Structure 1
Amino acid sequence: MLVPLKGLGRQHADMMTKAGVSALALSSSSTTAEWARCKTMIIEKALCALFISPEVLSHNSSFAKLLNEHNIALLCFDEAHLYNDWYLWRPTMSMAASLVSAQRRLGLTATMRRRDQQLVVRRTGMSTPIVQRGRFLRSNLLLQFLKRPAALTFGRASVADRLSAATEAKWRIARTLRMAIKARSLQGNTIVYVPSRAQAETVCKQLVQAAKDQKLVAVGAALKFRPYHAGRTDRSEVEQLFLSQRGVVVVATIAFGLGVDCAHVRVIIHFSGARSLAEYAQQVGRGGRDGEDAYCLCFYNPSDSQGIRRSIESAVLTTSTTTALMRKAAFASGKLNVAVRGDVRDVCTVPPFLEMGAGGPTVVHDALEDLAAAKLVDIDYSDDYPLVQPLAVLDRQDARAAGRLLSKSMKSAAAQQLAVLDEALDFMEADGCLQRRLCDVFGAPDDLDAPVESCRCGMCEPATIGAGFA
């Protein structure tokens, strides 16, 4: 199974091992001994399930060859919606899908937009799969969005505005702490989602200080606060603590948002909004897995995504810059032919990609996708691995025309990313039942017409939602 996060692979492997199934998880942090054990078990046909990240498979051709030589019965794609959502910045996902020769393939996800279905099918190497959608509605999730003042002030903000922002940030910490205390009294845990690693550390420290100020230990409401993000080395310890104990509050980035299977999550808080609707749906899905109520509160402000918007917009190069790059890359000698025919992996065996080592395949794959988006090459996805047929040889193209095409492609990609941010903000700002609108995006056909009876979301029951968590 290809898993997008190392922690997710560890959890799956542990769960299957406890169920009596021989399973292992491999990642970039696996030891030499763990790799050797895995290879031995594969050769001896003693391994039933292997959980591995796309990067590990993409950058280890000998291991991919070993897997193919021993006939993989089923290739699974966990969190399959990410093969579309993360496609632009993580090309190794579709690349890894093409490196395995398994004919039987299975994609699993809880948040697949109907409009994205065909793209995911293509990028996971399937042809005409059977698609089954289950009911998306979970009435025990008490969803609420709370618009707040901007927590950050830019430019020459007045003293009053700065004080208001600081007061609001403290109020959010206090509200989060009260809800975590309530979750602890219900023998449950709390997840606080934040957009960055730095904020995970900062918010966790602020919650610890707020708990000390209220002397929670003295009143028997002790909480355990832990930050969690991809830059920390104690992630597995935090996962185990969260699964095995009560009263744990994890302040996490998206790294803790997939596959966390803990039955006793009573509170989910989005401290600074959500970057996408799929991300929000995945993260609130961590709550209430035992069937009991879980309160899901999202603090948001339109300014939350300003930093992300600026980074997306600044990554788009002007036409003059792309023209100069294309002229330098392919038109300098007047004789350079960079058309690619045959298996793309062959490109990585020649300079300059040969010197890149494990990063070579990723660079080639990413570059070819950009060229395809600019309509300079056409990628045939019908084979085990993309075959590239040139629509035109670059040294026969006008550099200005090629530069314009590449710039147009970059603008299109940026527009898609900005549309994801806009969709999330529009969802937060719109009226109407939250459960109903989520079902309209992610639900099965039956969800589209089925009424949401006795819904307790912040739109349907604004006066009573969260009363038990006050």
Structure 2
Amino acid sequence: MIDETATQSTTGPALTASSGARWEIAQRVLRDVFGFDGLKPPQQKVIDRLFDGRNVVAVMPTGSGKSLCYQLASQCLPDLTVVVSPLVSLMKDQCDALKRIGVQVARLDHSVSASDWRTDLKRVRSGQCKLLYVSPERFFNERFRSVLGETRISMLAVDEAHCMSQWGHHFRPDYLRLPDVVREFAIPQTLALTATATPKVIRELRSAFELSRTDVVKLPTHRSNLQLHCTLVTTTQRDQQLIQQLQQAKRSRKKGVSIVYVTRRRTAEQLAELLIEHGIDARAYHAGLDPSDREEVQQWFLQSSDGVLVGTVAFGMGVDKPNVRRVIHYNPSSSLEAYCQEIGRGGRDGKVTTCQTWLVPEDQVAIRNLPCSDWPSKASVERLLDRLVGQPDSFYLSLNKLAWDVNLSAAVVGTFLIQLRQRGNLELLPARYDVYRIKPRMEPSHWMGQMPEGDADAIAAIGASLVKSKRGFRVNLILATRQYQIPRERLVRALEELALAGLLELESSELMHGYRWKERVTRPASVVKHLIHRFEASIEMAHERTDEMMDFLACRACLPITMAAHFGSRRSRPCGKCSACQGEGPWETGLKKPASLGDSVKKAMREAESDYPDLFSDPVDRAKFLCGLYTPAFMRFRVNRHFGFGVCESVPFTSVLAAMRDE
């Protein structure tokens, strides 16, 4: 627990003092709370700059202690530190670990219970809790903005900041809006953290947060205890080699767990079963498992001393287990950035860890095809523009419903709307919920008596606009706004205050994203062409990243040297331990030019067109069908049950698309 003197020091006048005074507090908290005698030099550099009031980009490899930079600084800055993190599981793991050592921390996400939500908000608003974790989408949500109220924010910490880059490997559209948050909430400082940023991504982060070169703290991406190996094998050899490697590990004295990364969910399940048949304790993990099953597998892994987790890339972010002795890629990573993150989950205790890739070059087809599942047909983008141009000056949309309606993924629709904002067509508004439901704990007429400082007019309007439903009451905010001339923001704030006071249980659903026209689209055909071009450019970048990954795995030169060059670092001395240094390779990783589609493929396509005459007017949709890629329409009509679905699964999507366009 944080002792009383530390708590008083971190909330008192000393926090407005000099950098030196903050360091005195930091050193005490570091020792007494976090249990460290000192910081690593890069952590010291980051926090030095923060205490000097500067914005910072920290590029540090997985396992090097990035999180401690903002966790420690948060206890020494005067007001709230908000951490933006992309995954609920990542936020939960960090918050649970902080609570165990006595740090006051809160997180606001959909998995938090109503009672915990109330408790955490009260601690945040009172200043008792100075560290708050949220998803990037949460900032643009009317409920979050209402409950945050006048709470002052000292720092915004952006974890996994590479998600801000449209050309990065894990782009999240709402990350692009974070600079707007800094301006709107007048946040004086920003800390952007990532383990994997190329020079181009670093330039984007510097531009977004207006940083100088001296405010970038960068470490080499590779940790020397990770020994990198790549071996070219056939599909049959790979299973044999993997089983042999894991059985030898089981017999060796080097105790520790193993992670085996695969591309597809079904591969994870089939491979885990194969390993179990050979006496290896293995479990499968992927995003298709129920949340409770994922949690059970993750807990098994954390408690295991020699287990093998076979997982997709859905596993690993935020999992801090020191004794991962082997990180094995059954299928190659999609990019060097992803590879570095994945191998970075090994050897966090500093001991030697094997990072092995069993390379079957044909596996890259699945990696290249995966992002193509979002490839928009011209008809879908035209339908999207048609839905938008008819909207009033300000409007709200459900991205999921809109995406389903126009046969695009919600992620693509959200990205296209962000791009319309960048073109100057749209302004983004805070998201709102279409449905608010309450369960009063007392008669609404008694609410004001329990809230002497409440907004009486707003509370009265809410009480008068309740509609009885199966689960309590539905709040008709549109009626309350129109009839009582009270802005929606006040009504939502009043609802939150009633919930915080424990006078009602509040639920919200059906999130709607808001937009305002700044310049109407007058040439839809030109905009459609622009949006498709932007998407195709992003696919080209994804394929270039895969090319870089395969070139790396060819082992033409020392692997750590090649990795350093990719991330803009210098390394001249070969490691002497990787496959290339030990004389293995170079490997041939290129793909053979695919043969033309055979008659059986063409027959399958003709039958599918006959069975589903409305689904295949565009070559993009025909190519997706043949490659086994899903669209909302395919899911709606269960097209995956057709015998021809996925018949070209092992053929690059771009080749199939070219063939469909030539017909």
Range class of TM-score, shorter chain? 0.7 to 0.9
Find the counterpart in structure 2 of residue 23 from structure 1: 105
Of the two structures, which has the highest relative contact order with CA contacts closer than 8 Å and spacing of 6 or more?
1
Give the letter aligned to residue 292 of structure 1. Answer: K
Quote the offset at 1:402 in angstroms: 3.4
Moved over 6 A (4+): 354-357, 361-364, 386-389
1:193-219: CA deviation from partner (whole Å, max 9, x where unpaired): 1123322222222211121xxxxxxxx
Indicate the larger mover: 189-198 or 174-183: 174-183
**Aligned positions of 1:277-288 closer than 5 A:** 277-288=336-347
Q: Distance in 1 between matches of 2:359 and 2:386?
A: 45
Find the counterpart in structure 2 of residue 228 from structure 1: 285
Quote the offset at 1:133 in angstroms: 0.6
Give the letter aligned to residue 210 of structure 2. Answer: S
1:117-176: CA deviation from partner (whole Å, max 9, x where unpaired): 122345xx5122511112334221110112223x4xxxxxxxxxxxxxxx3353144135
Quote the offset at 1:314 in angstroms: 6.1
Q: Distance in 2 between matches of 1:247 and 1:11?
A: 22
**Aligned positions of 1:47-446 closer than 5 A:** 47-58=129-140, 60-67=141-148, 69-84=150-165, 90-95=172-177, 98-99=180-181, 101=185, 102-122=187-207, 125-128=208-211, 130-149=215-234, 151=235, 167-178=236-247, 180-181=249-250, 185-211=253-279, 224-232=281-289, 233-313=292-372, 315-317=374-376, 321=379, 324-325=382-383, 328-329=386-387, 347=394, 350-352=395-397, 366-371=415-420, 375=423, 377=425, 393-395=520-522, 397=523, 399-442=524-567
Q: Is the 8 A contact 2:163 2:171 kept in 1?
A: no
Quote the offset at 1:267 in angstroms: 0.5
Quote the offset at 1:329 in angstroms: 4.5
Quote the offset at 1:303 in angstroms: 1.9
Quote the offset at 1:323 in angstroms: 8.0
Instruction: Count the aligned residue pairs.
Output: 403
Q: Is the 8 A contact 1:271 1:298 kept in 2?
A: yes
Q: Distance in 2 between matches of 1:174 and 1:362?
A: 38
Counterpart of 1:81 in 2: which secondary structure? helix
Quote the offset at 1:7 in angstroms: 2.4
Q: Does 1:461 align with 2:543?
A: no
Q: Is the 8 A contact 2:328 2:355 kept in 1?
A: yes
1:429-466: CA deviation from partner (whole Å, max 9, x where unpaired): 250000111111225xxx41x43355311111247xxx
Q: Distance in 2 between matches of 1:300 and 1:87?
A: 21
Q: Distance in 2 between matches of 1:88 and 1:401?
A: 28
Q: Is the 8 A contact 2:560 2:575 kept in 1?
A: no
Q: Is the 8 A contact 1:322 1:404 kept in 2?
A: no
1:451 to 572, 577, 582: 572
Give the letter aligned to residue 93 of structure 2. Answer: Q
Q: Distance in 2 between matches of 1:24 and 1:330?
A: 38
Q: Is the 8 A contact 1:337 1:393 kept in 2?
A: no
Distance 1:327 1:13, change over 3 A: closer
Q: Distance in 1 between matches of 2:269 and 2:385?
A: 45
Q: Is the 8 A contact 1:435 1:452 kept in 2?
A: no
Q: Is the 8 A contact 2:238 2:358 kept in 1?
A: no
Q: Distance in 2 between matches of 1:108 and 1:199?
A: 32
Q: Runs of 5+ in structure 2 lacking a partner?
A: 1-82, 405-409, 429-513, 585-663
Q: Is the 8 A contact 1:26 1:52 kept in 2?
A: yes
Indicate the larger mover: 273-282 or 238-247: 238-247
Find the counterpart in structure 2 of residue 37 from structure 1: 119
Indicate the larger mover: 254-263 or 87-96: 87-96
Distance 1:148 1:67, change over 3 A: farther
Larger radius of gyration: 2
Q: Distance in 2 between matches of 1:244 and 1:337?
A: 54
Quote the offset at 1:324 in angstroms: 4.7
Counterpart of 2:153 in 1: which secondary structure? coil
Quote the offset at 1:182 in angstroms: 5.1
Quote the offset at 1:230 in angstroms: 2.8
Quote the offset at 1:284 in angstroms: 0.8
Counterpart of 1:74 in 2: which secondary structure? strand
Q: Distance in 1 between matches of 2:374 and 2:411?
A: 19
Q: Is the 8 A contact 1:7 1:236 kept in 2?
A: no
Distance 1:54 1:201, change over 3 A: farther
Kindly, what percent of the aligned residue pairs are identical?
27
Distance 1:56 1:148, change over 3 A: farther
Q: Distance in 1 between matches of 2:399 and 2:351?
A: 55
Q: Runs of 5+ in structure 1 lacking a partner?
A: 152-166, 212-222, 341-346, 381-385, 464-470
Q: Distance in 2 between matches of 1:204 and 1:323?
A: 41
Distance 1:121 1:228, change over 3 A: farther
Distance 1:362 1:431, change over 3 A: closer
